[in-house]
Structure formats: structure tokens, C-alpha cells
């Protein structure tokens, strides 16, 4: 997700006073070939703010142990009335809920075959399915989940967003199995509270014929009949799938080598230039880090209270950004196609690992494209300024400062999260580049991408992608240190 440009605008007026207040807020190259992938087959219909769907989930047990249950994250339940973890923070609430208070939710109607199922978890965020029979290691099973997703009127990942319908995180998502247990994800207000392994997707979606759909993956067909349009999408080796609908889209299409680049917009004075920027980013990052993982890349202008949001093969860009902020956001979200979409990491505990690297990848792009007006020196100066200002104010108020980076999203204050995950994360990767030199730094990033595309990488595995012990020491110092940079 890109929030820095939006954050700069919000905090530019009476910045010191706002900062004082915020300090007190609660704080692909493909998946691994040695294992068959699980698969999501979704058959859905959207009309009038409601998505009715059936998910046939084909589970492949690659955990190395027998499984008697499957746990799914129900991200759509974060939008229900009374949710313990509201999806939008107070400072963004007015911008997000443009029509006033609004609620949605995800209702599970049935699961079959199974021994039993329940919606549970810390915030009704988990669907727990007890399987009809245990699945041995290396075995498989299929469950069919019928559910309804009701959309709130909110400019967010999932919701009625003005001229668009955002369908991010619109289906039950299998929790990651880690250290002998499933890892549930609560919908924290800060960052991207998602952690998932990759799978294959086949999605069929029926919508009113007036709608155009921008989606992750390739459009196999779009058939119109009886006032309805039915899309069929396919995406392999992806850890997520998202769709945006609108009756107002115009579409620009370009090629970046073998990749089809699509830009869906309705309020862009220069849509061709935006599509060209998306293409150029793909080409630059492919050359710098390794070949882009998918056959298509869609960028979609949409109602969104932050700058942008990344999904595999799809990026949101907010429709009310300035031309400068929109360009920055597009570059950042495109970088996430390498760091999050391909190389997965635990965004709920190590947010800097993908956000900091996406920020620094943006810096690398702008360093080579000076016409945008972003320089390496200027971006690093801004990051240092944010971190040091945060440190100074916090030190004066509390006498101590915690700038450790490996924390749950729910442990951060709102501005604190931006400073640590984005600004300090960006500075961490610049310190790696300075210490290792150009050749070894870029070779390490290429190695990291090649080795962990389609997988989930821990911070230790990121560090080990670089030669020697220098990277490990620098990452440890940044993650654990509390001093100013």
C-alpha cells in the first residue's frame, strides 16, 4: 500500500500538533514446483451492493502433517457493525466513509462436505472448518463455501467507492500454517493485515452489463446476455485476487515485452501517459530484479482513501491524487509486484520487509528517471526528517523511544507505522546499498527474488540473500535499534 504521499498532505498543516496527537494512538516466477498448489474456484454474482458467491476450495496439504481442520480469514467481516478492529482509522474515516456511517460484512451460509464449521476468532474473522476426514501430509480435499458479501459505502479495499466497486479480499482466504498452527489475521487499521500463500485462481463473475471489470489475472471471456455480463478470469501462482468494477472506465492497453498492460480510469487527464508509466516501471523492475511473474498487469483508478493498494497483477491508484502523487503511487504499487505479490512476507509482523523495499525500489526507479522530480537525496532526506522528527518529539514527551521494526500492526500508532515501515524501511535498504556496493546489493535483490518468488520469506532469508554477514548485521541494527538515523 502507498500512503506516504497522502500522509504528507494530511500532516502538512499544523504538522507538529497533529504528530503530537498521533503519537498517542494505539499503537512471479511461480510457486514452488515441488508441491501441488491449492486452488480457489469462485463463482459469484454482483448486484446492488451485494456479492453472492460460492467458493470451491481444492486444498493441497503441503504442511508436512495431517490436517483435521482448515481455517480461513474472513476479511469482509471487518466492515460489519461492532467490529473490534475497524478497517479505517479515525484520521481517514471521514475521507473513507463519504456518505456517513456505513457497514457491510461477510455471511457464511454453508460449508460442505465437512464434520462441522463455525465463524469464530478474535473478531469473527475466522471460518473454522472441521474436515469430514483427516487429510494426510501430501493429501488433498475440497470444501465448498457458500457466502454473501455485503458492501459498505466506503472508499477502501472492499466497498462501494463512489464510481467504482472495490472487491479486494472478497472471499475466504486460507490461513498460513506456520510452526504447527494456523495464523489468523485480524484487520488492523495500520498497513496491510494480510498473510497468505500462493494458489491458483479460476473466477467467474456475473455483473450488470453496463459494468467493466478490472481484475487480477487474465480475462478469458466476457460474455453479455440478457442484460448481464459474465467474466471468466484465470490467475496462477498468486497469493491473492482482486476485482474493481465501474460503469465509467475507459481502458488503455500497451505491451511491456510479453506482458499486456491495462490501465482503467475515469478521471485521468492523461491516461496514455499513466499507462506508459506502468509499462516503463514493469520493464525497469524486470531488468533490475527479475522477470515479472504474470502475463498481464492492470492498474485501476478507483475510490480509495489512501494513495494506492497492491494485489497480484493489479494495483489500485486513488482517483483524487495530484499528478505527482499518482505517479509516485503507481511506481510504488508496481514495485509491490516483486515485493509482496511474488516474494511474500509476513506483512502483519514485518511490514518493513515489503513496504520498505517497495519504497526503496521506487527510489531506484526515480533515480533513473529524473524528469519526475524525485531524487535519491531528496527522498532520503524526507525519510530521515520523518524519522528524526518522530524520535525527537517522542523523546521529549516520554523520555524514551521505541523504533523497533518487527511488531504486530496492532502495536503501532498510525503515524508511527508510516515512519517505521516506510521511512525507516527505506533507510535500511539504502544502508545495505551503501555497505555492500552497487553490484552486490543488486545481485542480492535478484537472488532474493529468484529464490523466494512464490514463497514466503522471513527477514533472515532476506538477509541471507546478500553475501557475508553485513546485511544480517545492518538489518538487525535497524530492526532492533532505537537511535536516530
Q: What is the pLDDT of residues 331-358, one digit of tens each?
A: 999 999 999 999 999 999 999 999 999 9
- The pLDDT of 277-288, averaged and rounded, is 98
pLDDT, residue 34, reads: 56
CA dihedral for 336, 167, 304, 185, sign (positive or negative): negative
CA distances from 34 to 138, 178, 360 (A): 11, 18, 32
CA distances from 253 to 274, 298, 329, 331, 397 (A): 11, 9, 20, 18, 52
**Is pLDDT above 50 for 23?**
no
**Is pLDDT above 50 for 452?**
yes
Arithmetic mean of pLDDT over the chain: 92
**Is pLDDT above 50 for 311?**
yes
pLDDT band at 416 (very low <50, low <70, confident <90, very high): very high
**Residue 228: how many other CB atoms lie within 10 Å:** 14
**Cβ proximity of 173 and 75 under 8 Å:** yes
pLDDT, residue 31, reads: 42
pLDDT band at 395 (very low <50, low <70, confident <90, very high): confident
pLDDT, residue 129, reads: 98
**Is pLDDT above 80 for 32?**
no
C-alpha cell at 145: 463455501
- The pLDDT of 128-136, averaged and rounded, is 98
**Nearest 5°: CA angle at 222, between 45 and 29?**
95
pLDDT band at 7 (very low <50, low <70, confident <90, very high): low
Q: What is the Cα gyration radius of the chain?
A: 22
Domain coordinates of the chain in residue numbers?
Answer: 17-27+355-480
- Share above pLDDT 70 across residues of the chain, in percent, rounded to a whole number: 93
102 CB burial (10 A radius; 0-12, 13-18, 19+): middle
**Is pLDDT above 70 for 18?**
no
| Parallel/antiparallel/unpaired status of strands 259-265 and 250-256 | antiparallel
pLDDT, residue 33, reads: 45
- The pLDDT of 147-165, averaged and rounded, is 98
DSSP 8-state code for residue 419: I
pLDDT, residue 14, reads: 34
Peptide bond connecting 111 to the previous residue in cis, omega within 30 degrees of 0: no
Q: Three-state SS for 314? A: strand
Q: How far apart are CA 390 and CA 73, in angstroms?
A: 34
**Is pLDDT above 60 for 397?**
yes
pLDDT band at 145 (very low <50, low <70, confident <90, very high): very high
DSSP 8-state code for residue 405: S
pLDDT, residue 122, reads: 96
Higher-confidence position of 439 and 14 = 439
Q: How far apart are CA 214 and CA 431, in angstroms?
A: 38
pLDDT, residue 485, reads: 56
| Of the candidate ranges 16-20, 42-46, 185-189, 367-371, the one whose mean pLDDT is the lowest | 16-20
Q: CATH code for 17-27+355-480?
A: 1.10.390
Q: What is the pLDDT of residues 70-124, one digit of tens each?
A: 999 999 999 999 999 999 999 999 999 999 999 999 999 999 999 999 999 999 9
Higher-confidence position of 2 and 39 = 39
pLDDT band at 401 (very low <50, low <70, confident <90, very high): confident
**Is pLDDT above 60 for 131?**
yes
pLDDT, residue 17, reads: 34
pLDDT band at 257 (very low <50, low <70, confident <90, very high): very high
DSSP 8-state code for residue 113: S
pLDDT, residue 13, reads: 32
Q: Three-state SS for 452? A: helix
Q: How many residues does the chain have?
A: 485
C-alpha cell at 271: 491516461
Higher-confidence position of 138 and 23 = 138
CA distances from 312 to 41, 133, 196, 269 (A): 17, 33, 12, 26
DSSP 8-state code for residue 280: H
**Nearest 5°: CA angle at 262, between 189 and 301?**
40
pLDDT, residue 482, reads: 54
| Of the candidate ranges 30-39, 246-255, 260-269, 375-384, the one whose mean pLDDT is the lowest | 30-39
**Residue 219: how many other CB atoms lie within 10 Å:** 16
**Cβ proximity of 114 and 59 under 8 Å:** no
Amino acid at each position: 500500500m502507498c500512503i506516504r504521499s497522502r500522509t504528507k498532505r494530511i500532516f502538512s498543516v499544523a504538522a507538529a500538533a497533529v504528530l503530537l496527537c498521533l503519537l498517542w494512538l494505539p499503537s512471479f516466477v511461480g510457486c514452488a514446483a515441488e508441491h501441488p498448489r491449492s486452488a480457489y474456484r469462485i463463482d459469484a454474482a454482483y448486484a446492488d451492493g451485494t456479492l453472492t458467491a460460492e467458493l470451491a476450495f481444492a486444498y493441497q496439504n503441503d504442511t508436512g502433517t495431517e490436517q483435521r481442520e482448515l481455517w480461513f480469514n474472513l476479511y469482509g467481516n471487518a466492515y460489519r457493525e461492532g467490529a473490534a478492529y475497524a478497517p479505517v482509522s479515525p484520521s481517514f474515516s471521514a475521507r473513507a466513509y463519504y456518505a456517513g456511517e456505513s457497514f457491510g460484512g461477510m455471511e457464511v451460509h454453508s460449508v460442505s462436505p465437512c464434520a462441522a464449521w463455525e465463524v469464530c476468532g478474535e473478531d469473527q474473522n475466522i471460518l473454522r472448518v472441521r474436515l469430514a476426514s483427516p487429510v494426510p501430509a501430501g493429501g488433498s480435499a475440497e470444501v465448498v463455501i457458500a457466502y454473501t458479501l455485503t458492501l459498505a459505502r466506503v472508499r477502501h479495499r472492499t466497498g462501494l467507492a463512489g464510481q467504482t466497486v472495490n472487491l479486494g479480499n472478497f472471499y475466504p482466504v486460507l490461513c498460513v500454517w506456520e510452526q504447527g498452527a494456523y495464523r489468523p489475521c485480524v484487520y488492523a487499521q495500520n498497513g496491510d493485515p494480510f498473510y497468505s500463500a500462493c494458489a491458483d485462481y479460476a473466477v467467474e463473475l456475473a455483473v450488470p452489463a453496463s459494468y467493466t471489470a478490472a481484475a487480477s489475472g487474465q480475462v478469458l471471456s466476457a460474455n453479455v446476455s440478457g442484460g448481464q455480463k459474465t467474466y471468466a478470469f484465470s490467475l496462477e501462482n498468486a497469493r491473492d485476487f482482486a476485482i474493481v468494477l465501474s460503469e465509467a472506465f475507459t481502458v488503455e492497453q500497451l505491451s511491456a515485452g510479453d506482458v499486456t498492460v491495462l490501465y482503467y480510469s475515469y478521471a485521468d487527464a492523461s491516461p496514455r501517459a499513466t499507462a506508459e508509466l506502468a509499462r516503463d516501471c514493469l520493464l525497469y523492475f524486470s531488468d533490475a530484479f527479475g522477470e515479472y511473474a504474470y502475463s498481464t498487469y492492470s492498474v485501476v483508478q478507483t475510490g480509495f482513501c489512501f494513495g494506492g493498494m497492491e494485489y497480484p497483477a493489479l494495483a489500485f491508484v486513488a482517483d483524487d491524487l495530484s499528478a505527482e502523487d499518482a505517479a509516485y503511487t503507481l511506481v510504488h504499487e508496481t514495485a509491490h509486484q516483486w515485493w509482496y505479490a511474488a516474494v511474500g512476507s509476513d506483512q502483519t509482523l514485518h511490514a518493513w520487509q515489503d513496504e520498505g523495499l517497495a519504497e526503496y525500489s521506487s527510489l531506484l526507479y526515480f533515480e533513473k528517471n529524473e524528469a519526475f522530480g524525485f531524487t535519491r537525496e531528496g527522498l532520503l532526506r524526507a525519510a530521515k526528517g520523518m524519522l528524526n522528527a518522530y524520535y525527537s518529539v517522542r523523546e521529549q514527551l516520554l523520555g524514551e523511544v521505541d523504533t523497533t521494526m518487527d511488531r504486530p500492526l496492532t502495536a503501532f500508532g498510525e503515524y508511527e507505522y508510516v515512519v517505521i515501515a516506510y521511512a525507516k524501511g527505506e533507510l535500511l535498504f539504502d544502508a545495505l546499498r551503501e555497505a555492500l556496493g552497487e553490484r552486490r546489493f543488486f545481485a542480492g535483490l535478484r537472488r532474493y527474488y529468484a529464490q523466494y518468488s512464490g514463497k514466503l520469506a522471513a527477514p533472515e532469508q532476506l538477509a541471507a540473500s546478500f553475501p557475508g554477514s553485513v546485511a544480517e548485521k545492518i538489518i538487525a541494527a535497524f530492526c532492533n535499534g532505537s537511535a536516530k538515523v
